[in-house]
Amino acid sequence: MIVSLLYKVTRKLLSVPSVLLRREAVKDAELLVLRHENTVLRRQLAGPVRYEPADRFWFAALSRLIHRSRWRETFPVTPGTLLGWHRRFIAWKWDYSARRRTGRPPTRAAIKALVLRLAGENPRWGHRRIQGELARLGHPIAASTVWEILNAAGVDPAPCRSGPTWREFLTAQAEGIIATDFFHIDTALGKRLYALVFLEHDTRRLQITGVTAHPTRDWTVQQARNLAADLGTRTESFRFLLRDRDSKYGEAFDAVFEAEELHVIKSAPQAPRMNAHCERIIGSIRREVLDHILIMGEAHARQVLAAYQVHYNEHRPHQSRDQLPPDAVEHAAVVHDLDTRRLLRTRILGGVINEYRYAA
């Protein structure tokens, strides 16, 4: 109502000079239209011209002062556009759908956050158990509302969230898990080689036990024996060996670790996320080394992987270990006098990898 009344008052005020000096008023109106059009264009020069409600109001009010024969050369919009603006204005005036408030009031954001927090911290609680806890805290809310909040957030409202995910399991058991996996290497002449990698979850220590073109079960068993000998008494700290269901392992491979009292866990078929740590270290080996070096043969592959293993275990920082390498036990001393210290670079594998240390 206020907008309509303001529009009528503006038109009346602008019609006064047209009664007294019709010819001069028409010219002044044309100038005002052109000036306002220039203002709009300067304001939106970077993109297409978009008229705001105030611009539409101004053009509509000035339209009565200009003869229709001059609209085409004066106005930046057509009469049809002007009438379209008017139709939308009238439709908005009588549209009360956006102003109606029906149904129950929406649940407060703080209550939704509290519901999701209780579900996240208590995976065995269903939506009715969460409703009861909210009622005890002084937040009366229907069980159906709790169900809708959990369902909208992608959380199972039923109490079947008790089992830990693989991420939760691996994190909780990291200290006692060692994982293994194969990855392939294509030489410069197209020959395919296979390497067997072991990774300790807790320390992220890497062991690449061997490279071969024919990974038979006997070869794999020998790599398991070599690893068990290298670990020595450290095998007592491990409880699980995580591997996939590749046929190259076999029962003899598992027997080597079971003799050291390790329980062998096999991942589900075609489920690489169940051995995600090994998959990630294999990706790091490819991105940081193998994608930048042409491997000539087995001996060359062993040399390259051995150099990367030393770099990975003794120098490369890891986020899961607070930026410490696997073999490091504490951070280096903080350096303050940067101007007086000399930074040395060590090239690994011809400069594919660089290591940095301060001179003693």
Task: Work out whether strand 192-200 and strand 177-186 pair parallel, antiparallel, or are unpaired.
Answer: antiparallel
User: pLDDT (tens digit, 9 = 90+) per residue, 84-130?
Assistant: 777 777 777 777 666 666 666 788 888 888 888 888 877 777 888 88
Shared-domain flag, residues 40 and 135: no
Domain count, the chain: 3
Question: How large is the average pLDDT for residues 7-32?
Answer: 66
Would you state the structure tokens that stand for residue 317, as one six-digit string? 């920082």
Closest CA to 349 of 297, 310, 313: 310
Q: 327 in helix, strand or coil? A: coil
Return the axis-axis angle of helices 217-231 and 250-258, rounded to nearest 10°.
10
Amino acid in the structure at residue 159: P
Task: Work out whether strand 353-358 and strand 240-243 pair parallel, antiparallel, or are unpaired.
Answer: unpaired
The distance of Cα 2 from the centroid of its chain, to the nearest Å, equals: 48
Shared-domain flag, residues 130 and 74: no
Question: How large is the average pLDDT for residues 339-350?
Answer: 83
- Specify which residues 192 forms β-bridges with: 186
Shared-domain flag, residues 8 and 87: yes
Shared-domain flag, residues 212 and 257: yes
d(CA 98, CA 229): 75
Would you state the structure tokens that stand for residue 255, as one six-digit string? 């027997």
d(CA 340, CA 352): 28
Q: Are 267 and 274 in contact (CB under 8 A)?
A: yes
Report if residue 226 sits inside a domain: yes
Would you state the structure tokens that stand for residue 25, as one six-digit string? 């008023």
CA angle 227, 231, 237 (to 5 degrees): 120
d(CA 185, CA 286): 9
The share of the chain scoring above pLDDT 70, in percent, equals: 80
d(CA 206, CA 66): 83
The per-residue pLDDT for 3 is: 65
Shared-domain flag, residues 198 and 129: no
d(CA 137, CA 119): 15
Shared-domain flag, residues 53 and 75: yes
66: pLDDT strictly greater than 90 = no
Report if residue 328 sits inside a domain: no
1: pLDDT strictly greater than 80 = no
Report if residue 87 sits inside a domain: yes
Q: 240 in helix, strand or coil? A: strand
The per-residue pLDDT for 330 is: 77
Whole-model pTM? 0.54
d(CA 103, CA 306): 69
Report if residue 276 sits inside a domain: yes
The per-residue pLDDT for 75 is: 67
Shared-domain flag, residues 243 and 117: no
Shared-domain flag, residues 173 and 310: yes
d(CA 248, CA 264): 15
Shared-domain flag, residues 87 and 119: no
Report if residue 161 sits inside a domain: no
For the ranges 41-50, 166-175, 247-256, 350-359, the one whose mean pLDDT is highest = 247-256
286: pLDDT strictly greater than 90 = yes
Shared-domain flag, residues 27 and 87: yes
18: pLDDT strictly greater than 70 = no
Closest CA to 301 of 139, 191, 155, 136: 191
The pLDDT confidence band at residue 13, using thresholds 50, 70 and 90, is low
d(CA 187, CA 297): 6
205: pLDDT strictly greater than 70 = yes
The per-residue pLDDT for 221 is: 94
Question: How large is the average pLDDT for residues 181-186?
Answer: 94
Domain carrying residue 239: 169-321
Shared-domain flag, residues 44 and 142: no
